Structure 1
Amino acid sequence: MFNIRTRRAGLAAVALTAGAALALTGCSGGSSEEAAAPTFDPNEEVTLDLAFWGNDIRAGLYDEAIAAFNEEYPNIKVNASFLGFPEYWEKRQTEAAGGGLPDVMQFDYSYLRQYSENGLLLDLGPYLGNIIDTEPLSEQILGIGVVDDVTTGIPTSTNAWALFTNDTLLSQVGAEPFEGGDWGDYADWQADVTAAGAGAVFGGTDYTGRIQNFEIQQRAKGDDLFTEDGEPNFTEEDLADFWAQGTPLHEDGTVIGQQKLEEIYPKSAFDAGLTASELTWDNFGAGYLGNLGEGTELTLNAPPVTKEGAKDLYLKPSMLHSISAKTEHPEAAATLVNFLVNSPEAGAIFGTNRGLPASETMLEGADLDPLGQQIRDYEASIADRLGDAPPVPIVGYGTLEEKFRQLGQELGFGTITPEEAAKQFFSEMDVVLNQ
């Protein structure tokens, strides 16, 4: 039996994204001031196309949800289709170029700005508070789906940045659990675990390889990575200083070597049971447990602290639901979105398959498994560190995230310096922001 415990944030004292620019064309959905108040004939016979990414398990859950939806709205026929994540977005690109997006779509945060700014997504403002119930959704949650002051997506679920530790592995090597602290405390703890592991187990990987760790350090200073206008909110020096934090971790042998990480890819060192900690999104637990095996005990901790009292963390949508700007049935589509986002019936069906439900009414209907309950407890425990979500990712954010990862690999091998890596990143960022 898998057992996961949550260590509260007080002890800490603190997914594939892609956003390559596309030459998309489409019609604007209009602003909420221009749109007329929605009217909806509940007896009108309509057909909606619904698209989502996932697998056969998720497809079965959507089938159940659609059946429950049709008990209340038998006149709205829903044709559902799904693909794997990469194929899903390839098809959306093709449809967007031809002006034929599905009526309702599962949407990824990294693509929201791109499709919104190209006028491909419906302005949901006229439907909020009437067809789409906003009472169960906090202002913070609703704000996640806003691009240029227009709501184009409603989050179905949330996750937050976290530190997973493998307590089973720590027990095996005789090391103490992580009790929280700042980044220096975390590095010291990693070194202690590595020493106890005697070459077989390491404290973790170089945390400077993840752009999200740079992001939360910047947010602790009061700066998101990018402004609302999509301009970088950090300097080459900021980035070089961050990457320099990883140099002693490699020189001292504190973290697992880059060559070993290449050998075990696509598994991470944490997945492979070679490291005792990993900084990542809190909804990765199920995947870790699947790889680590029955009997593994994980702890979900808050990330290290950069500055006491800072609002460095935020809730990120695991996914959103959006509507095509060209849908012929916007009210019916909004009705379907409301059901998929807010209904207790959908909560009971999906559980945490799409992440921890963002809506209180959907969450109330969900029968959370132990992992889901621990994620819920964790997100509640970091409330004092949660700030507003950053601006919706810039177009091309996924490209920059991948470049950040690649430069982290080179730093791990010691083939470039932090200053050289920062210069290369800024060169790439200049291309992405000006294409």
Structure 2
Amino acid sequence: MPLPLPSPTTRRGPRAGRLGWRLGAALLVVVITALSACTAEDAAPENDKVQLSIFWWGGDRRAELTKQALELYTQRYPDVTFEFTHQGNAGYYDKLSIEAAAGNAPDIFQIDDNYLTEYAQREILLDLTDYVREDLLDLRKLPAGLAQSSQVTGRTVAAAAAENTPGLIYNKSLLDRLDMPEPQIGMSYSDYLNWADEITDRSGGKVFGTMDPSADYKAFWLWLRSQDKELYRGRQVGFTESDLTRWFELWAGARQRGAAPPAKVIQPANSGDVTKQLVTSGKAATSFVWSNQLPELQKLSKDTLKVVSYPGDPAAHWARASLYWAAFRGTRHPDTVVHVIDFLVNDARAGEILGTERGLSANLDVRRTVEASLTDESMKQSVAFETAMADKFGAAPAPPPKGHAAIKQLLITAAESVQFGRASPRSAAASFISQANAALTS
């Protein structure tokens, strides 16, 4: 029976675990050298100080909290300091790719499932499999699906920084004013669109009942999963032209009947930009986003917002890694880098500092600690929703293949061609399938 692990707040130092044999060997060398030397002063100690570079994208709040967490690490391990670099999402991967190609990528960096598989296949990411096996990177307190999502072709190549799942954000205050019921977990798409129709009617057409998410890959993916299909099957799309045609037709019908807005209202939100979501602009009663975005959306609305699962079978949802921490394969300090990642994932105090900025803490024990410390009501609600969904989650799919970012953009293009009447649902679907499979196999 394996011995119990240390608690998250008492994890071993950056030179623990498999470094033990190296230290033993080093001590033996030191003893032999000392015995053969004329004086002890002749032996110069090795400089053990390490500075690690770390890179992520996000706003000022994320930067502030991440720095605080890493400064806590340095307080505990003074020989390890950090060089921080952060920026907005735009251009992040361009910079990271250039640095990796030049062999000077940051020691630790943030990555998401848009590029996890691609970077693993390009051998940019440090293989963490042995560290997990030897318990130098502990993923046992993560939900099984979340730990599994860090694997590409059976190798652990990253560690989930946080968890989220898609969430339908709705305007509770508006529903109260219209004397409308709140949407429920497990609503069928048919029931959902009838509900949205009623909102449009009761508001006199001033507010549409639902956003049209036909350009949203995660909404389409969950719709597929409710039919036992997936967005991907290996390096090909996991659905047919007929499936995508039906998806486009579903939302074309919603627009025609007035449940969803016209194209010119929908388009600004198609990119996923939180500041342009229709639930906060007052143009629709709902938006299809990520559940952990509720606090950010709430700040943009005077009304009370709430969150529920997307329409359809809730088992289509899964515990998704919102972001990962990964290490550069060429780092000169792999053991220390892994220890830092373990700290960010598993340390209770670090978790309290980071809060829910990237999503819910990946470590379930840390998550409970963070939940108890929350004061923001919308954050509490986001955490409560994810907790309530935990026993409803389906199995996590494999991380998306290389080309996922291109697929997301192709779906937006295809959906908008239907929204604006430039293409029929079938012709847009046929064009998408042809381009998507080419993008996935290039």
Q: TM bucket by the smaller chain?
A: 0.7 to 0.9
AA partner of residue 330 (structure 1): P
Per-residue CA distance 1:272-291 (angstroms, 9 max, x = gap)? 01111122210121221121
Supply the distance in 1 between the matched residues of 2:325 and 2:213 (Cα, whole angstroms). 32
Question: SS in structure 2 opposite 1:391?
Answer: coil
Secondary structure of the 1:387 match is coil
**Residue equivalent to 2:311:** 304
Shift of 1:220: 2.1
Residue 390 of structure 1 corresponds to which residue in structure 2?
A: 397
What is the one-letter code of the residue matched to 2:92?
Y
Give per-residue Cα distances to partners, 1:376-431, cap 9 Å, x unaligned: 22112223431222111111111111121222222222222110111110121132
The reply to whether residue 140 of structure 1 matches residue 149 of structure 2 is no
Q: Verify: 1:151 aligned to 2:151, yes or no.
A: no
For residue 44 of structure 1, report the CA deviation from its aligned partner. Answer: 3.2
RMSD, matched Cα: 2.1
* Shift in alpha-carbon separation, 1:345–1:431, aligned structure 2, 3 A: same
**Cα 1:303/1:264, change in 2 over 3 Å:** closer
| Larger displacement relative to structure 2 (63-72 or 313-322) | 63-72
SS at match of 1:246: helix
2:4 maps to none
The corresponding residue for 2:29 is none
1:115 aligns with 2:119: yes
**Counterpart position of 2:213:** 207
Residue identity matched to 2:230? D
Aligned residue in 1 for 2:182? 177
Superposed counterparts of 1:11-410, under 5 Å? 38-39=18-19, 44-128=48-132, 129-180=134-185, 181-227=187-233, 229-262=234-267, 267-293=276-302, 296-306=303-313, 311-366=315-370, 367-368=373-374, 369-410=376-417
- Indicate how the Cα distance of structure 1 residues 339 and 292 shifts in structure 2: closer, same or farther if over 3 A, else same: same
**Cα 1:104–1:383 shift into 2, 3 Å:** same
Larger deviation: 217-226 or 95-104? 217-226
- Separation in 2, partners of 1:174, 1:373: 25
Residue equivalent to 1:27: none
Q: Please identify, of 53-62 and 88-97, the stretch whose mean Cα deviation from structure 2 is larger.
A: 53-62
SS of residue paired to 1:320:
strand
TM-score, structure 1 normalization: 0.85
Q: Residue type of the partner of 2:203?
A: G
Instruction: Give the Å deviation of 1:262.
Output: 4.2
Moved more, 274-283 or 363-372: 363-372
> How many Å apart are 1:64 and its aligned residue?
1.5
For 2:330, what is the secondary structure of its paired residue?
A: coil
The answer (yes or no) to whether the contact 2:108–2:326 under 8 Å persists in 1 is yes
1:311 aligned counterpart, secondary structure? helix
2-side partners of 1:122 and 1:138: how far apart? 22
CA contact (8 A) 1:343 1:361 kept: no
| 2:38 match | none
- More helix per residue: 2
Q: C-alpha offsets along residues 68-119 of structure 1, whole Å, 9 cap, x if unaligned?
A: 1112211112222111112322210110111111111111221101110011
1:221 partner letter: Q
The AA in structure 1 aligned to 2:88 is G
1:26 maps to which residue? Answer: none
* Residue pair 1:346, 1:365 contacting (<8 A) in 2 also: no
Counterpart CA distance in 1 for 2:358 and 2:215 is 27
Q: Distance in 1 between matches of 2:79 and 2:148?
A: 32
**Partner Cα distance (2:224, 2:156) in 1:** 26
Rounded Cα–Cα distance in structure 1 between residues aligned with 2:68 and 2:360: 19
CA distance in 2, matches of 1:264, 1:88: 22
Q: Secondary structure at the match of 2:123?
A: coil
User: Counterpart of 1:208 in 2: which secondary structure?
Assistant: coil
Maintained 8 Å contact 2:53/2:82: yes
In 1: Cα distance, 2:67 partner to 2:110 partner: 15
Per the TM alignment, residue 263 of structure 1 is displaced from its structure 2 partner at its CA by 7.0
State the distance in 2 between where 1:205 and 1:249 align: 10
Q: Which runs of 4+ in 1 moved over 4 A?
A: 40-43, 262-266
Q: Distance in 2 between matches of 1:325 and 1:224?
A: 31
State the percentage of identical aligned residues. Answer: 26
Distance in 1, Cα, partners of 2:95 & 2:269: 31
Whether the 8 Å contact between 1:38 and 1:126 is mirrored in structure 2 is no
- Using CA pairs under 8 Å that are at least 6 residues apart, name the structure with larger relative contact order, 1 or 2: 1
- Take 1:425 and 1:110, find their aligned partners in 2: how far apart are those partners? 18
Paired AA for residue 130 in structure 2: P
Contact 1:356 1:372 in 2 (8 A): no
What do residues 129-149 of structure 1 show as CA deviations (whole Å, max 9, x unaligned)? Answer: 522223322322111110011
Secondary structure of the structure 1 residue equivalent to 2:321: strand
